[in-house]
Structure 1
Amino acid sequence: MAASEFAWGTKDCALVIADWWAVNHGADPASHLRETYGSRDECHAVLNREGGLCRLVSRLARSVGAVRSSGDSAGDFGVIRHGDRHLAAIRTQSGRWAVKGEKCVTALKNPKVVAAWHV
């Protein structure tokens, strides 16, 4: 997942988390969103329609039984703020938040956790 090339609508920051969930828990909470957008602008249109990234991730998390958390534990996933952007990320063993970006996976040390969930 992390090693795969970034692609809007299939391997972006939010869908990589849905991939991680599917591998670890057997269900893809974002299957209905896959391949419905193919660019940054189209992604933003989907997010606007869905009420923003945080609301979308919250709905998807609830749909698979994830529970709100503080984001302190490895394996927690959530929405973080980095600069002026909200990003979907996974908490790593090192305490950083891993985000799939257009060029690489970045591990951010102390981003603002907007919302987080765990199993």
Structure 2
Amino acid sequence: MSRAARLQAFLTRFEGVPVVWGENDCSAAPALWWSEETGKKVELPTYSSRDEAHAIIKRMGGLDAVWDDIAAQAGAMERYGDPEVGDVAIIDTRLHGQIGGICGAGRILTIRKDNGGWHPFGPVRQFVKVYATP
């Protein structure tokens, strides 16, 4: 099965499933994707609410800094240039600040919606960081 097909199956599994912070939110879902794709447990800092997640992000200096640590655990290197399907990326948004998601084709970033499911965001012109899925 191709990576694109595996990603589609992963996304479908969470469609309509309410977000649980620390388990399947906009950072936990990409970490779970990496765990499933690589067979390695990818650990996140522990949090159970949006406020706790934001406190960790602030303490570490930004979502990209948090993901630098997560990427190192997964064995993922930063990708320079266009992302590939299944990569994990961070973007800046005017409304929500930095958010993370999983890259689809055509510079689309698939982000987890708070009410469950996914939102295709893009095409993204500028990524803060892209981490190549190992």
- TM-score, normalised on structure 1? 0.85
Greater strand proportion: 1
1:71–1:113: 8 Å Cα contact kept in structure 2? no
Letter in 1 for 2:89: G
Cα distance, 1:73 vs structure 2? 1.3
Question: What is the CA-CA distance between 1:58 and the residue it aligns to?
Answer: 1.1
Select the structure with the greater relative contact order (CA < 8 A; seq sep ≥ 6).
Answer: 2
Name the structure 1 match of 2:71.
Answer: 61
- What is the alpha-carbon distance in structure 2 between the residues aligned to residue 51 and residue 95 of structure 1? 26
Gaps of 5+ in 1: none
Q: Report if aligned partners of 1:75, 1:92 keep a CA contact under 8 Å in 2.
A: yes
Percent identity among equivalent residues?
24
Task: Kindly state the Cα deviation for residue 83 of structure 1 after the two structures are TM-superposed.
Answer: 2.1
Query: Of the candidates 20, 23, 27, which is equivalent to residue 10 of structure 1?
Result: 23
Paired residues, what number? 116
Calculate the TM-score normalised by the size of structure 2: 0.76
**Segments of 4+ in structure 1 off by > 4 A?**
none
Q: Aligned-pair distance for 1:76?
A: 1.4
Higher helix share: 2
Letter in 2 for 1:23: E
Q: For residue 40 of structure 1, what is the amino acid of its counterpart? A: R
Q: Once superposed, what is the RMSD of the aligned Cα atoms?
A: 1.8
Is 1:108 the counterpart of 2:121? The answer is yes
CA contact 1:2–1:100 (8 Å) conserved in 2: no
